Structure 1
């Protein structure tokens, strides 16, 4: 496996069972591009920590159902990273297999369409059987964003938009998205 910063190869690693990694080599001339969370340290522990924190949290609404629908039976860092290439809307890092032939331009989430099927699964927990892992699994930011509330990302008129749900079950629940919206408006005004 190769950790990349856009098309820069940063390091090569292998998966170690049951849960871990072994760094095989580091591209010293590109070390300055390592993820900030790794603090310039390219060892097994820092890479494994970064990969584990990169995937969707296990308490996200609908995540267990969504993973099950696409053939991942538990919160498995390796399976999730390999499926979505670790692509995120937060940065330009990604993880590819040694024999992967594509480049950043063909895969990144900033310029390419998102999977509508995965968006529906992430937001509603619905849909089964019409998703083919590998075909469009790396075209979704659903596996690498934080937070517990149901959410999905869509590209609308060329812009990335976040659709976010709220909590359910009590009379005063469900207002979290509104609070975040108003807080962002206040922050922008300041």
Structure 2
């Protein structure tokens, strides 16, 4: 579609013109920014200095919209599409996404967002089928697809189910465990009352897939933590965790401390190894630019010892931890309050996990039992941490009460003063 026009475009945010850009035909990179129209609608985290958009930063943002080169099966899909790189797919669908409202409009074309966006208009599933390893029907493959701007390394595709935009995502390796983990994580968060994206299980040709409805609407958009953290320079003495909160506070995004408490608790319970800065973030209104709050928790599949052989499934094993610490035992210390947490709501969750895993051709009974046991122990370990925190706070409070009494009435005589038991 875009090849019929020249390589000059207007970067738009819905129907708001943001900047005039040019794309290099060979690389798909932004070769020039001819002018800026509306600084308020420049993508979050992209610097603007003296009325000029930082081209290197905008290029990083633009290329970040492309399918990563690490995507499972991407080379086979590119060969079938006769496209050299994933970056070359971006302009084939005008950069349209189901995560935000940015797109590129050919400068000499009459086009508007309402007639092109994938939230409200049909889109081709040809690219998604190829990315998922499925055969496409017909000779002419349409590249007008939101799959051109899907991130992550697992096989996935967008589809429409009962009129709703849904993401279908596969597993990896010989175990194919990620889809089951997504379902378990969403069930766990539902029990704890934590805002989350709900996942269901789909088995197709005996392979498991997770399915979730898009949580972004035509009026909203996702801004990942990475780009939130680009809005301010991080001082060397400030931790990544505090820097993120500082950036959110400066932008006026509400409820972020509480949201981070919940995310860190969930990731501890499921031993998440891949909560990187691009799979959590915040949501804003794409029209008013008002911040709504933290995005619901999503993308939790790389957890629960998903890539470990059965012998290494252990609740106390040291695992990769992100995004704020390298160890879950250290990261859980960042939680400011457990007052909201009712771990009794997770009673029997291991049995629910067992039911989710039942029937898998890739996870045998022994692995299933090891996973369920380890999950139960992670819950018990967190219970001990919560109890220890509560006890410490109680002791600290009692010490403060004693100090106040001493300061008020003088040192009490040994025979007439004793702290409550």
1:150 and 2:150 matched: no
Deviation at 1:6, TM superposition (A): 0.5
Q: What SS does the aligned partner of 1:131 have?
A: coil
Match of 1:103 in 2: 112
Report if the CA contact (8 A) 1:56-1:146 is conserved: yes
Report if the CA contact (8 A) 1:154-1:163 is conserved: yes
Match of 2:239 in 1: none
Name which one, 1 or 2, has greater alpha-carbon Rg.
2
1:34 and 2:45 matched: no
- 1:20-169 superposed matches below 5 A: 20=29, 21-27=31-37, 30-40=38-48, 42-75=53-86, 77=87, 79-127=88-136, 130-132=139-141, 136-138=142-144, 140-168=145-173
Which shows bigger deviation, 61-70 or 103-112?
A: 61-70
Deviation at 1:129, TM superposition (A): 6.3
Per-residue Cα deviation, 1:158-178 (whole angstroms, up to 9, x for no partner): 11111111113x3xx101012
Rounded Cα–Cα distance in structure 2 between residues aligned with 1:130 and 1:35: 37
Per-residue Cα deviation, 1:120-174 (whole angstroms, up to 9, x for no partner): 1121253386234xxx422x21111111111111111111111111113x3xx10
TM-aligned CA distance change 1:100 to 1:182, over 3 Å: farther
TM-score normalized by structure 2? 0.40
Report if the CA contact (8 A) 2:118-2:146 is conserved: yes
Rounded Cα–Cα distance in structure 2 between residues aligned with 1:43 and 1:129: 43
Report if the CA contact (8 A) 2:126-2:143 is conserved: no
Which shows bigger deviation, 122-131 or 36-45?
A: 122-131
Rounded Cα–Cα distance in structure 2 between residues aligned with 1:187 and 1:46: 35
Deviation at 1:100, TM superposition (A): 2.3
Count of aligned pairs between the two proteins? 179
Rounded Cα–Cα distance in structure 2 between residues aligned with 1:17 and 1:97: 14
1:13 and 2:21 matched: yes
Per-residue Cα deviation, 1:66-124 (whole angstroms, up to 9, x for no partner): 2222221234x2x2221011111110000122122221011111111221322211212
Report if the CA contact (8 A) 2:48-2:54 is conserved: no
Q: What SS does the aligned partner of 1:38 have?
A: coil
Please give the root-mean-square deviation of Cα atoms over the aligned residues, in Å. Answer: 2.0
Rounded Cα–Cα distance in structure 2 between residues aligned with 1:114 and 1:8: 23
Rounded Cα–Cα distance in structure 1 between residues aligned with 2:108 and 2:78: 25
Report if the CA contact (8 A) 2:170-2:179 is conserved: yes
Report if the CA contact (8 A) 2:71-2:152 is conserved: yes
Report if the CA contact (8 A) 2:124-2:143 is conserved: yes
- Larger RCO of the pair (alpha carbons < 8 Å, separation 6+): 1
TM-score normalized by structure 1? 0.84
